[in-house]
A = this chain, B = another copy of it.
């Protein structure tokens, strides 16, 4: 049982086909008990400058010239998650029988510390600071893509207790898994089929339709558009997507990331004025690592404010109940100035 307790495992549910990560490491992580971000003591925060030794050694960083790894002087810092949901190991062995399918929990779980400033918010950073964070995301995805054993990567941010954060210092995470999640698999099947039938990208066609209808559009620039999706799962859920077709986030140039950062800051600031972004998840979906030919995919970001709690119906039926029409949510976000 001892070894079990430290080695994560991926298991597939025989009834639904859904994968789950069983990861006992996670239960050892510290969880801030404070309700307000301001009540946390900086000297105890493992993500604050001066406390670099409290994290595993850094993998990547934006640093001031002549500053040393794992010392202060960084602007963005990437470290392995100290309590990873997945292990980094060299070998993947699959164990499968008729009912039970499992593989060792090998993969990547990294933390991107977004700023040295403990008390800031992602959307209150300068655009240039946001660009540095996005560049780090991009570099990490490029690196992860080199590992042929990994099939899927997600960049995600949990901000606020209600969104699942255990530490308040602004940070994002990257998880890469050795299996394609069932949800992504289903989406990819739909995207491929749509591409075959219509000779166009489903996301591109949704963007065109959103622009034509206008009711769900929140903000628009020459290069990006933000809208509340037709079947939004969460109140005020907002997507930011490139108007031009690009499959992989990590293929974007610095100029384009600058444009994206401007749109992101604009939309999140509006969302914060409209509903107060105390708790939210932020996601960047890039094309799955598994596909060589991923022309059907269109990278995008999702901002999911967490205002209501998910309950038994959602967990039992996988069916979300959203209390506000996306058209009304879009109007409220647009009007928040």
A272–B36 alpha-carbon span in the complex (Å): 30
Q: Which residue from chain B places its CB closest to the CB of A184 in the assembled complex?
A: B317
Return A72 CB to nearest CB of chain B, in Å.
Answer: 28
Contact B315 A205 (CB under 8 A): no
In the complex, what residues of B have CB within 8 A of residue A231's CB? 11-14, 18-20, 22
Q: Which residue from chain B places its CB closest to the CB of A156 in the assembled complex?
A: B312
> Is A74 in contact with chain B by the CB < 8 A criterion?
no
Return A287 CB to nearest CB of chain B, in Å.
Answer: 14
In the complex, what residues of B have CB within 8 A of residue A273's CB? none
* Chain A positions near chain B (C-beta within 8 angstroms): 1, 4-5, 9, 11-24, 26-27, 85, 98-100, 102, 152, 154, 156-158, 161-165, 173, 175, 177, 181-184, 186-187, 190-191, 198, 202-203, 205-206, 209, 229-233, 281-283, 285, 302, 304, 309-328
**With A12-B231, A20-B320 already in contact, 4 other A-B pairs whose C-beta atoms are closer than 8 Å:** A17-B186, A98-B205, A154-B317, A304-B312
**A15 with B312: in contact, given A1-B328, A323-B23 (CB under 8 Å)?**
no
Contact B326 A22 (CB under 8 A): yes
In the complex, what residues of B have CB within 8 A of residue A24's CB? 323-325, 328
Q: Which residue from chain B places its CB closest to the CB of A159 in the assembled complex?
A: B312
In the complex, what residues of B have CB within 8 A of residue A186's CB? 16-17, 182, 186
Contact B162 A209 (CB under 8 A): no
In the complex, what residues of B have CB within 8 A of residue A1's CB? 327-328
Residue of B98, B190, B302 near A16 (CB, 8 A) is B190
A177–B5 alpha-carbon span in the complex (Å): 41
Contact B190 A22 (CB under 8 A): no
Return A278 CB to nearest CB of chain B, in Å.
Answer: 14
Contact A316 B283 (CB under 8 A): yes
Copies of this chain assembled into the complex: 2
A131–B14 alpha-carbon span in the complex (Å): 31
Residue of B27, B191, B229, B321 near A21 (CB, 8 A) is B321
In the complex, what residues of B have CB within 8 A of residue A229's CB? 13
A182–B231 alpha-carbon span in the complex (Å): 14
A152–B317 alpha-carbon span in the complex (Å): 9
In the complex, what residues of B have CB within 8 A of residue A283's CB? 312, 315-316
A154–B16 alpha-carbon span in the complex (Å): 17
Residue of B22, B100, B304 near A322 (CB, 8 A) is B22
Contact B325 A22 (CB under 8 A): yes
Contact B317 A20 (CB under 8 A): no
In the complex, what residues of B have CB within 8 A of residue A313's CB? 85, 154, 156, 173, 175
**A14 with B230: in contact, given A313-B175, A315-B281 (CB under 8 Å)?**
yes
In the complex, what residues of B have CB within 8 A of residue A315's CB? 156, 281, 283, 304
Which 3 pairs show the lowest CB-CB distances between chains A and B?
A164-B311, A183-B318, A156-B312
A58–B28 alpha-carbon span in the complex (Å): 48
In the complex, what residues of B have CB within 8 A of residue A152's CB? 317
Q: List 17 A-B contacts (CB under 8 A).
A: A1-B328, A9-B325, A14-B206, A14-B231, A16-B186, A20-B320, A24-B328, A98-B205, A154-B316, A163-B309, A164-B309, A164-B314, A175-B313, A177-B317, A177-B319, A182-B186, A302-B316
